[in-house]
Amino acid sequence: MGLALPIYPTQILWVNLVTDGVIDKTFPMCQEEGDVMKNKPRPLETQFFDRWQMGRIAWVALVNASVTLSVFVHLLHSGDSYEVALTVAFCIIVASQWINGILAQKEEEPFFLNIGRSLTINPTIWIGVGIGLLLQIFALYVVPQWFHAISPTEEMLATIGGATVVVFLLIESYKWGEYYLKRR
């Protein structure tokens, strides 16, 4: 695409630490989605990654990559510095992973179908996201040079927040589509 590097290897390692490194430890604390004892047993030949799961994985990857890359390119073409675009892309990737972790807790239903349940199905995930957020703040405001980043301005934070909302809404819309298709 003829672009500058949109993310550095140190950032990739950091993303794994502040997203998967803290959130995945909370997944075992998640309550069951619905009454699992009322579900019919799955046939032994059923694949773990069925077409619904593969579709979700593909959609989340496409959304995260598209939104991040679009913002990165937009910032570069609108006259922002490479450091600004790089930092914003780095933060969008991190925030998008947190969103994915939160939304992945309920596989069978969208977040907004039962917001109360969505917020309480795994209270420990909020601790994981909080720890990740503190680590990300440390990286951006204490040692940004380690991550080829700069400390974000309010405008940069607004861009990161807006992009994260777009990621959330696109993943949530997919989950609604899947929810309705499965109910047919």
Note the pLDDT tens digit of each residue in 99-126.
999 998 887 789 999 888 888 888 899 9
- Residue 47: predicted pLDDT: 67
Return the pLDDT at 33.
58
Instruction: Convert the pLDDT of each residue in 23-69 to its tens digit.
Output: 888 877 777 655 666 667 777 676 667 788 888 899 999 999 999 99
- Do residues 124 and 46 touch, judged by C-beta distance below 8 A? no
Mean pLDDT (the chain) is: 89
In the structure, what pLDDT confidence band is assigned to residue 160 with cuts at 50, 70 and 90?
A: very high
Mean pLDDT of 4-20: 91
- Does residue 1 surpass a pLDDT of 80? no
pLDDT at 34: 59
What pLDDT score does 48 carry? Answer: 67
Q: What pLDDT band is residue 95 in, cutting at 50, 70 and 90?
A: very high
pTM of the model: 0.88
At 142 the pLDDT is 96
Helix/strand/coil (H/E/C) assignment for every residue in 88-153: HHHHHHHHHHHHHHHHHCCCCCCHHHHHHHHHHCCCHHHHHHHHHHHHHHHHHHCCHHHHCCCCCC
pLDDT at position 4? 87
Residue partners of 59: CB distance under 8 A and separation at least 6? 170, 171, 174
Q: What is the pLDDT of residue 26?
A: 81
- Whether residue 184 contacts residue 118, with contact meaning beta carbons closer than 8 Å, is answered with no
Identify whether the C-beta of residue 28 lies closer than 8 Å to the C-beta of residue 57. Answer: no
Among candidates 65, 64, 81, 87, which has minimal Cα distance to 159?
Answer: 87
